[in-house]
Structure 1
Amino acid sequence: MTLEVRDLSVVYPPRGGVGPARAVDGVDLRIGDGEIVALIGESGCGKSTLARTLVGLVKPSRGQVLYQGTPLDYSAKALKAYRRHTQLVLQDPGGALNPKQNVFDAVAEGPRLHGLKDDLKETVHDALTRAGLRPPEDFYHRYPHELSGGQQQRVVIAGALALNPSLIVADEPVASLDASVRGEILKLLLRLRDDLGLSALVVSHDLGLAWNIADRVAVMYLGRIVEQGTVEEVLLNPRHPYTKALLSVVPSGAEDWRPTLLSGEPPDPTAIPAGCRFHPRCGRWAGASAADRERAACDRRELPVLAADVSGAACHLLDLDPPATDVSNAWENA
């Protein structure tokens, strides 16, 4: 197992009279060797905070991050050693690259910081080649403004690869790219997994990305994983009402297809409701009978944290839900 988090929580202190904010509020998650896990959720659910916690940029308020079974040490020396194995790829490649650095120096920065100066030219050459920038020599002296968005993202990925990590945490890696370029970057991540055995956590709000690239999917809402499993389990047979609402926007081809519109306010980590944190926006709960509401007690009964090795959903209403609609035709055409 490459990376694991146990009962992870990140709480930001009160600010401006508001808070505290429970950005991550009890998460168990595992990423296996050579596995790609997609972390899906809308803005404000805590997925970017979780991503930054995995690479040691944010120290958890509770719980542990374990790499190869060893808890993460937050001393400067230990974090520097850890980041040789775990690299973060950010959403905006233009913002991630220093406009005053050429491509060679941008890719070489990580090895230089870690004292890996021997064969630096070969390291940069190999990293750019793996990232699909060929021939590498043509890019050495270019600056970010001379590159396309897709080329910039490849340079960012090459900078991560220069340290030969075992895990990449990619936070919305294709969100700022044109549709024609997104597929190229996703193919690159798959090729890196196949050729190098690289593991990856890919953070996204795009379910199509999960279908095309991931082995497993974890759906996050208001600081918690509310459903997880293989791609087929989650995307073809969703069980949680939130996952179903996310999937409902994908056209199914059926004549009666209608997307589910979530009511209420978007997730607010400073005001987590009692009971199931999704129940104020849950259409299934809103339409339930008085007897079902009393039996499910979604508005007052806390849900347990989903264990990392369990495929399923954290929902009081599972026993009340009708069988899920099969959306396989929609994904086959995605």
Structure 2
Amino acid sequence: MDTRTPALEVRDLSVVYPASGGRGPARAVDGVNLSVGQGEIVALIGESGCGKSTLARALVGLVKPTGGQVLYQDTPLDYSAIALKQYRRHTQLVLQDPGGALNPKQNVYDAVALGPRLHGLTDRLPETVRNALAQAGLRPPEDFFGRYPHELSGGQQQRVVIAGALALNPSVIVADEPVASLDASVRGEILKLMLRLRDDLGLSALVVSHDLGLAWNIADRVAVMYLGRIVEQGTVEEVLLRPQHPYTQALLSVIPSGAEDWRPTLLTGEPPDPTAIPAGCRFHPRCGRWAAASADERAASGCDRRELPVLAPDASAAACHLLSPTALETA
């Protein structure tokens, strides 16, 4: 696997939604650096409302950033209609609800053929659809051509959605909660499929999820997002076995360890609100480490007043004033 040249990267990316309903502007993505290497799977982890899905949509050009850049193979994304259409041949989005993503009046053949038709790639279209379905694990593919979504299981529907992405021969897939709506017995099959696509086709992938088990099973690197910003990132082993940031530690603590003294860390305070980002470290109002600190330690840390630096796109690091140094030790 070659991760030296990013297949997809964001630099200082921000997405701000206008004020509405008496509330201020929502800083959904607030200064993010993130890279996905060639043939690499990166898991983006965080609570609902932290900005993961907005970032995913910005990566495929569905949301135009307020600031910063999206780069595909070191080239900044051009937001003209022609350039976006060309870009989406290379970077495809896979949504979490396959039932909602598929047209109930469209059979499997037409669903998979939709992308190539929109892009004028109609030469040898039956072969393209057949190969995409086979790559997605629906074999023999001809048996699925005439079926409709209601005739398929949830796992088969998700495979059809993935086949629709593969029909354009992309180099990057952005998957937003790709197994969240599936039964536990089917999730493993879809995760194995994504690993096989990476190994067989050299695909790069950003997988958005709140499921730490998913990250452990398929990711090469993990980025943890909180309130619009990456707060910790590194290899799977670094982040999931030796978490440094209090937020990452809290997320991992809910997984039973088997130890007699195991207790989950309960986050206090209000859930993330992108319209009211606190001063200093944005996590400090809910941080157990901050809550347990003495007055002198709080004053010295500056957690409630000093802004943290934005992490570099490929750094193994955690953004926390209470860590010294913030960089993780590379395994």
Q: TM-score, normalised by structure 2?
A: 0.96
Residue of structure 1 in register with 2:139 after alignment: 134
**Structure 1 residue 112 corresponds to structure 2 residue 117:** yes
Query: Which letter maps to 1:34?
Result: G
- 1:167-196 superposed Cα distances (whole Å, 9 cap, x missing partner): 000000000000000000000000000000
Q: CA deviation at 1:320?
A: 10
- Give the whole-Å Cα distance in 1 for the aligned partners of 2:102 and 2:42: 26
Q: CA deviation at 1:290?
A: 1.3
**Structure 1 residue 268 corresponds to structure 2 residue 273:** yes
**Structure 1 residue 91 corresponds to structure 2 residue 106:** no
- Give the whole-Å Cα distance in 2 for the aligned partners of 1:286 and 1:308: 30
Residue of structure 2 in register with 1:292 after alignment: 297
The aligned runs of 1:128-167 (5 Å cut-off) are 128-167=133-172
The aligned runs of 1:1-334 (5 Å cut-off) are 1-319=6-324
- Give the whole-Å Cα distance in 1 for the aligned partners of 2:258 and 2:148: 45
Query: Which letter maps to 2:267?
Result: L
- Give the whole-Å Cα distance in 1 for the aligned partners of 2:97 and 2:136: 17
Q: CA deviation at 1:319?
A: 3.4
Structure 2 unaligned segments of length 5 or more: list them: 1-5
- Give the whole-Å Cα distance in 2 for the aligned partners of 1:295 and 1:252: 34
**Which runs of structure 1 show a deviation greater than 6 angstroms over 4 or more consecutive aligned residues?**
none
- Give the whole-Å Cα distance in 2 for the aligned partners of 1:42 and 1:94: 23
- Give the whole-Å Cα distance in 2 for the aligned partners of 1:161 and 1:201: 15
- 1:56-79 superposed Cα distances (whole Å, 9 cap, x missing partner): 000000000000110000000000
Q: CA deviation at 1:19?
A: 2.1
Query: Which letter maps to 1:113?
Result: L
- 1:102-130 superposed Cα distances (whole Å, 9 cap, x missing partner): 00000000000000000000000000000
Partner secondary structure for residue 95 of structure 1: helix
Query: Which letter maps to 1:267?
Result: P
Q: CA deviation at 1:217?
A: 0.1
Q: TM-score, normalised by structure 1?
A: 0.95
Query: Which letter maps to 1:56?
Result: G
Q: CA deviation at 1:309?
A: 2.1
- Give the whole-Å Cα distance in 2 for the aligned partners of 1:67 and 1:152: 29
Give identity over the alignment, percent: 85
- Give the whole-Å Cα distance in 2 for the aligned partners of 1:302 and 1:48: 24
Query: Which letter maps to 1:230?
Result: T
Q: CA deviation at 1:248?
A: 0.2
- Give the whole-Å Cα distance in 2 for the aligned partners of 1:16 and 1:309: 38
- Give the whole-Å Cα distance in 2 for the aligned partners of 1:291 and 1:126: 64
- Give the whole-Å Cα distance in 2 for the aligned partners of 1:296 and 1:97: 51
- 1:209-242 superposed Cα distances (whole Å, 9 cap, x missing partner): 0000000000000000000000000000000000
- Give the whole-Å Cα distance in 1 for the aligned partners of 2:321 and 2:302: 8
Partner secondary structure for residue 193 of structure 1: helix
Query: Which letter maps to 1:16?
Result: G
- Give the whole-Å Cα distance in 2 for the aligned partners of 1:313 and 1:240: 6
Q: CA RMSD in A?
A: 1.3
Which stretch shifts more, 12-21 or 103-112? 12-21
Partner secondary structure for residue 255 of structure 2: coil
Query: Which letter maps to 2:277?
Result: I
- Give the whole-Å Cα distance in 1 for the aligned partners of 2:24 and 2:205: 32
- 1:277-319 superposed Cα distances (whole Å, 9 cap, x missing partner): 0000000000001121011110000001001121010000113
- 1:233-258 superposed Cα distances (whole Å, 9 cap, x missing partner): 00000000000000001111111000
